[in-house]
Amino acid sequence: MRRAQVGKVLAGVILFGIIFAVMRLTAGERTATMPLEGGIRDVLAPVQAAATQAGRIVYEGLGTLFSLGRAARVEQLEKQVRQLEGKVAELNEYKVENERLRRLLAFREETRDRYELLAADVIARDPGNWFGTITVDRGAADGVRPYMPVLLPEGLVGRVLRVSQHTAEVLLITDPHSGVGGVVQETRTPGVLRGIVNSYGRLRMTYLAKDAPVKKGHTVVTSGLGGMFPGGIPVGKITAVRPEPTGVTKEAFVEPLVNFGHVEEVLIMLRVTPGG
């Protein structure tokens, strides 16, 4: 009995499927809907609508999830890129600093037979007088005293002006109040070097003999006169020569060898080595 009922149900399902298939195959040839087909469509319409809506919700939900996943991944990757860029910049800074310090140490070793030098970091500058003074992190406790020369491998920086226990103020040679005895290396012509107001680091060399064979491109070094600076320390290159207003002497403009806009470390000359 049960088998007969199952057989009847199965036969009904198959018949229903055949009828629906025939209706689908002939749908393109007919403009009117058969009563049975219309009834079946009416019965299935809500189910189809619900299934379509459910599919759309699932599709949109998956799309949103994938989109959020991609956005989160992109944000994570961008964050990693920024972190790596920061690390690269930090490593480059260490590299540049290491090169500067290696140069300072090499210079200190090369000049050991002439000078006793102490390395110091620049910790402050006067914003209103950028080419006037700097402050370094060495002071009286390190043996630093006023008037001690300050230099770099490139050339002369200035002299110690004031000292506290752990810091020192350095007067740069580019300050108009600074005065350095210099000599033109090629001709041995002496003169005095001073900073120029609002010249962004240039120097003026005055009291040059009117007939001195001084010209553009010549090198100026310290003369050693006056006892402030040892002789022979490079100062700069002559960029121009002209007669002074009096007409008795002439003057030269000098570009320092030290880039005073980017001084970060210096060497303080504690003493001149005897016989150096």
Query: 137 and 104: one domain?
Result: no
pLDDT digits (tens, 9 = 90+) for 198-229: 877 899 999 999 999 999 999 999 999 888 89
| pLDDT value at residue 6 | 44
Whether 175 contacts 129, CB under 8 Å: yes
The domain containing residue 14 runs over which residues?
7-23+34-110
Query: 135 and 228: one domain?
Result: yes
Query: 177 and 259: one domain?
Result: yes
Q: Which residues contact 111 (CB under 8 A, 6 or more apart)?
A: 117
Q: Is the pLDDT of residue 20 over 90?
A: no
| pLDDT value at residue 9 | 45
Percent of the chain with pLDDT over 90: 47
State how many domains the chain has: 2
Given 110, 140, 173, the domain boundary residue is 110
pLDDT digits (tens, 9 = 90+) for 151-179: 999 999 999 999 999 999 999 999 999 99
Query: 203 and 178: one domain?
Result: yes
pLDDT digits (tens, 9 = 90+) for 98-107: 777 788 888 8
Give a yes or no: residue 227 inside a domain. Answer: yes
> Is 226 strand, coil or helix?
coil
Q: Which of 168, 268, 155, 270 is nearest to 203 (CA)?
A: 155
Looking at every residue in the chain, the average pLDDT score rounds to 80
Query: 177 and 50: one domain?
Result: no
Query: 105 and 208: one domain?
Result: no
Q: Which of 260, 259, 266, 186 is nearest to 218 (CA)?
A: 186
Give a yes or no: residue 237 inside a domain. Answer: yes
Q: Is the pLDDT of residue 8 over 90?
A: no
Give a yes or no: residue 120 inside a domain. Answer: yes
